[in-house]
């Protein structure tokens, strides 16, 4: 039975996986002096070495105690669980463990351990288990997330999240994802399926809830951001994700907050700014609960968002004002043009009238300048007070026979016969039509 952990003076130690022959001998000598004991049954441990197993502890006569067997099995299950993870997973797990252990040294309320070791009876394990007073936290690191469409991994993680909750632990996830699917022009982030489930709700998120509640009193809020909100009465529920990546040889956590929105694919959420980066030590600082933020950067982040909101709000109303002005100008121009056209038409008719009176005075028989039925109507109204029924009679009975295009011919007949009334014109037209036939 391979046991890499042992206890010296109540502190837990882990043996190196590889060692020189000299180092192995040294460990063996220390073991002979009863230096190592099982962390569970406190029995004396001996040191062994195998080519494949490396250096390891064993109970005497290879009789491992039950607890240590159980943890060994848990470790095997845990190793299968993290098979898909990359190298960075171990690094971050170690950082998390160190950071929290350091805090635990000065705070007896905090207890920390590797998940499979602290809770060997679980079916699935958090990487790090933490207890703060009577709250338990399940910290997990997920690396190797490249695709938004990795449904299998997404399902696994969502289920694990649920399982941790059922086991009375509050899950916290760190996801190694280099790129977020951000639709900048819509101010939205499209979430990976699992993110909708695993996103955290911290005290900072609750602060954002109240900030948004006040900003969203402006009913145009989402219009300013051009965000296609999925429902009229969106519930204000801000969540946060913690993305990890290496930045100039440092591993950092990026805090990204969003307002939960769509619960069907695509899982679009309202993006709250660009988030900010913090070192791991800030992320896992414990004050009643995990801080998962940096107070200074958080205040700056909120302020930037408020400024952006105010700018967009101003731009939106300014744009509306300009558009209204443009429409008003367009309307004014249109009105002016109409007025001009009307004036032109009046001038034209006045000219015709003048010309016709001149012709009449001079007894001129030349072709008149009547060019349309409208002109004819107008002239007859001026001269003999053509009524609506008379006009209808002219249009329906005589024009078809004279020809609709021959309005000027009718006018010429009118002048030629010096008609004084519609009755006279009617007689002239009847004669004209019968002769033509």
Residue 117: name the closest of 83, 74, 80, 82 by CA.
Answer: 74
In the bound complex, what is the minimum distance in angstroms from residue 68's beta carbon to Zn ion?
4
In the bound complex, what is the minimum distance in angstroms from residue 43's beta carbon to Zn ion?
5
Per the listing, tokens 């929290």 go with 100
- Residues whose CB is less than 8 angstroms from the CB of residue 165 and which lie 6 or more positions away in sequence, other chains included: 171
Q: Mark the segment that binds Zn ion (CB under 5 A) among 59-67, 190-198, 355-363, 387-395.
A: 59-67
Task: Please identify, using beta-carbon distances, which residue of 72 and 183 lies nearer to Zn ion.
Answer: 72
Size of the site for Zn ion (CB under 5 A): 5
In the bound complex, what is the minimum distance in angstroms from residue 40's beta carbon to Zn ion?
5
User: CA 384 to CA 378: how far, in whole Å?
Assistant: 10
3-state secondary structure of 374: helix
What is the contact mask toward Zn ion in residues 18 to 57, using x (rule: CB under 5 A)?
Answer: --------------------x-xx----------------
Residues 226 and 187: beta-carbon distance below 8 Å: yes
In the bound complex, what is the minimum distance in angstroms from residue 48's beta carbon to Zn ion?
15
Residue 111: name the closest of 131, 96, 127, 90 by CA.
Answer: 131
Task: Please identify, using beta-carbon distances, which residue of 34 and 232 lies nearer to Zn ion.
Answer: 34
Residues 187-226 within binding reach of Zn ion (CB under 5 A):
none
Task: Please identify, using beta-carbon distances, which residue of 24 and 65 lies nearer to Zn ion.
Answer: 65
In the bound complex, what is the minimum distance in angstroms from residue 90's beta carbon to Zn ion?
26
Task: Please identify, using beta-carbon distances, which residue of 5 and 352 lies nearer to Zn ion.
Answer: 5
Residues 110 and 100: beta-carbon distance below 8 Å: yes
Q: What is the DSSP letter of 398?
A: I
Residues 250 and 227: beta-carbon distance below 8 Å: no
Residue 286: name the closest of 139, 114, 104 by CA.
Answer: 104
CA 93 to chain centre: 31
User: CA 209 to CA 334: how far, in whole Å?
Assistant: 50
Task: Please identify, using beta-carbon distances, which residue of 72 and 98 lies nearer to Zn ion.
Answer: 72
Kindly state whether residue 58 participates in binding Zn ion, applying the rule CB under 5 A. no
In the bound complex, what is the minimum distance in angstroms from residue 34's beta carbon to Zn ion?
14
Residues 94-133 within binding reach of Zn ion (CB under 5 A):
none
What is the contact mask toward Zn ion in residues 63 to 82, using x (rule: CB under 5 A)?
Answer: --x--x--------------
- Both tokens of residue 131? 């207890």
User: CA 165 to CA 138: how far, in whole Å?
Assistant: 9
What is the contact mask toward Zn ion in residues 251 to 270, using x (rule: CB under 5 A)?
Answer: --------------------
User: CA 412 to CA 432: how far, in whole Å?
Assistant: 12
In the bound complex, what is the minimum distance in angstroms from residue 41's beta carbon to Zn ion?
3
Residue 259: name the closest of 218, 225, 291, 290 by CA.
Answer: 225
- Both tokens of residue 42? 């406190």
In the bound complex, what is the minimum distance in angstroms from residue 16's beta carbon to Zn ion?
21
Task: Please identify, using beta-carbon distances, which residue of 37 and 158 lies nearer to Zn ion.
Answer: 37
Task: Please identify, using beta-carbon distances, which residue of 7 and 182 lies nearer to Zn ion.
Answer: 7
Task: Please identify, using beta-carbon distances, which residue of 68 and 103 lies nearer to Zn ion.
Answer: 68
Contact residues for Zn ion, defined by CB under 5 A: 38, 40-41, 65, 68
């Amino acid at each position: 039975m391979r046991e890499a952990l042992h206890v010296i003076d109540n502190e837990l130690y882990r043996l190196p996986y590889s060692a020189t022959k000299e180092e192995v001998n040294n460990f063996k000598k220390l073991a002979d002096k009863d230096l190592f004991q099982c962390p569970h049954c406190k029995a004396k441990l001996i040191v062994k070495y195998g080519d494949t197993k490396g250096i390891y502890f064993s109970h005497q006569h290879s009789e491992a105690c039950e607890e240590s067997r159980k943890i060994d099995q848990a470790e095997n299950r845990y190793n299968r669980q993290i098979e898909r993870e990359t190298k960075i997973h171990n690094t971050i797990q170690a950082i998390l463990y160190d950071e929290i252990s350091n805090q635990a040294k000065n705070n007896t309320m905090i207890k920390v351990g590797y998940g499979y070791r602290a809770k060997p009876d679980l079916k699935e394990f958090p990487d790090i288990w933490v207890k703060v007073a009577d709250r338990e936290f399940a910290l997990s690191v997920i690396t190797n997330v490249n695709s938004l469409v990795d449904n299998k991994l997404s399902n696994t993680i969502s289920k694990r999240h649920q399982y941790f909750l059922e086991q009375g632990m509050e899950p916290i996830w760190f996801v190694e994802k280099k790129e977020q699917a951000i639709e900048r022009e819509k101010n939205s982030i499209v979430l990976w399926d699992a993110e909708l489930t695993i996103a955290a709700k911290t005290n900072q998120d609750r602060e954002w809830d109240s900030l948004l509640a006040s900003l969203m009193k402006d009913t145009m809020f989402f219009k300013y951001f051009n965000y296609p909100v999925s429902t009229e009465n969106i519930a204000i529920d801000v969540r946060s994700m913690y993305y990890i990546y290496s930045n100039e040889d440092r591993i950092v956590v990026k805090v990204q907050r969003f307002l939960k929105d769509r619960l069907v694919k695509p899982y679009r959420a309202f993006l709250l700014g660009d988030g900010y980066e913090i070192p791991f030590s800030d992320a896992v600082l414990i004050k009643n609960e995990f801080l998962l933020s940096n107070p200074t950067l958080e205040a700056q982040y909120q302020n930037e968002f408020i400024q952006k909101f105010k700018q967009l709000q101003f731009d939106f109303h300014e744009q509306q004002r300009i558009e209204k002005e443009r429409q008003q100008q367009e309307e004014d121009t249109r009105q002016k043009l109409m007025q001009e056209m009307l004036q032109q038409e009046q001038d034209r008719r006045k000219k015709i009238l003048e010309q016709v009176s001149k012709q009449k005075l001079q007894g001129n028989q030349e072709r008149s300048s009547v060019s349309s039925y409208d002109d004819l109507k107008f002239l007859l109204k001026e001269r003999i007070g053509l009524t609506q029924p008379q006009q209808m009679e002219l249009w329906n009975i005589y024009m078809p026979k004279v020809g609709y295009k021959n309005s000027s011919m009718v006018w010429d007949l009118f002048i030629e016969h010096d008609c004084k009334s519609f009755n006279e014109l009617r007689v002239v037209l009847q004669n004209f039509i019968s002769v033509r036939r």
